[in-house]
Amino acid sequence: MARRALKLASWTSVALAASGICLYSNKYLDPSDFGAVRVGRAVATTAVISYDYLTSLKSVPYGSEEYLQLRSKIHDLFLSFDDTPLGAASLAQVHKAVLRDGRTVAVKVQHPKVQAQSSKDILLMEVLVLAVKQLFPEFEFMWLVDEAKKNLPLELDFLNEGRNAEKVAQMLKHFDFLKVPRIYWELSTKRVLLMEFVDGGQVNDRHYMERNKIDVNEISRHLGRMYSEMIFVNGFVHCDPHPGNVLVRKQPDTGKVEIVLLDHGLYQALTEEFRLDYCRLWQSLIWTDMQGVRKYGQRLGAGDLYPLFACMLTARSWDAVNRGIGQTPVTATEDSEIRNHAANYLPQISQLLNRVPRQMLLIFKTNDLLRGIEAALGTRASASSFLNMSRCCIKALAAHKKQKTRSLFRRARISLRESFSLWKINLHELVLHVKGLRLTGWVRALLCWLLPASH
């Protein structure tokens, strides 16, 4: 309890220190400075996920009561059982074992006192957040406590984690590069989860990929496709893609590169209204439709802070958003602006995070974790990655329109328009490849005519 209190106190001190250097004298925000928000976005996202200290990887003693109870039955269930855990966290630890029938499995065991302790931890978090609010009324972080109360019980139910794993495996079965370990239900409970053992290197380990001749750009593209499909098409999003939960490997039999997705305890289910508005917002951002950025940013709760919202989503400056995030590379000047001005907008970031739908909070977290992986691999978002996002948006919006009509003729028209839009994106991607990702004026003019934003 003391160790967890120390972690929460540390987070609170960061929030207090950051807020202490904010300049809140200006009532009106200068959109040209919105590039400064990336560091502020990272700080705010840290607040959004501060309760993740319960699940972050770190070394903990593994001689727990439940571990010892399980150890006494090991000879009945397993041919072998590794004493040293593969990974340990505050909620659970994972061991490698071999069943009597020869199957190699990963055994995830929940620590025995987590269930009882979690309510105390959330109470402590609530007290600290209220203390921050008393000292700095402009900072609204009570939604953080609400999110912890909602999500933590789900993460403590390992059967729920198993169901999520099977759901996402079925949902993305058309991706032959994705591997979700199989769950062994006959040996699983709410506090012990047995699954297929799958080895690999962490997704941010460039040296592992170099040794195994795995293309980091291919991995980055696969991650983008996978998460675009989750968010825009299915509205069911794995919200904890830190490197320990995303492995890469070459398939033992075929040598084909695979992404292994682990730890399915935390998912965000998006409502249809939110998912479609989010699709339209990203379409507007990708194709530089600033009216659409304003419209759908406001529909998602940003209000007059929609420029800040756009910058937080894209991790780009407001100037870059206006010029086109797919056509404007990240520069050292832009990064410098972000570092130098971020703290000025922390009160507005707090206000924005209090406004947007709760679904957006875990999306922010997921975006930040994915960008962290991109940064580690040196694969910043390219025009091609934005086009993959646009493909998913087009598919999602077309599917929604088809559901809303019973007319076969209208459905055929929607399908034709969808196919034509996807063909135009393929053409655009080909042009980018030929031109070395440098757009000429006539190509950009052609794209503006061919690809109006879908509203």
Which position has the higher pLDDT, 441 or 86? 86
Q: Which backbone phi and psi does 52 adopt, to 5 degrees?
A: -70, -5
List Cβ neighbours of 135 (8 Å cut-off, separation of 6 or more).
Answer: 16
Residue 144 pLDDT > 80, yes or no? no
Which position has the higher pLDDT, 15 or 126? 126
* 368 flagged as catalytic: no
Active-site residue identified among 33, 121, 205, 240: 240
Confidence (pLDDT) at 207? 93
Least reliable range by pLDDT among 5-14, 109-118, 319-328, 445-454: 5-14
pLDDT tier at 45 (50, 70, 90 boundaries)? very low
Residue-wise pLDDT for 285-298, tens only, equals 988 999 999 999 99
pTM of this structure: 0.76
Least reliable range by pLDDT among 151-155, 234-238, 269-273: 151-155
| Percent of the chain scoring above 90 in pLDDT | 38
Residue 91 pLDDT > 70, yes or no? yes
Residue-wise pLDDT for 327-376, tens only, equals 777 777 887 787 777 778 888 888 898 899 989 988 998 888 888 888 88
Confidence (pLDDT) at 13? 36
Residue 48 pLDDT > 50, yes or no? no
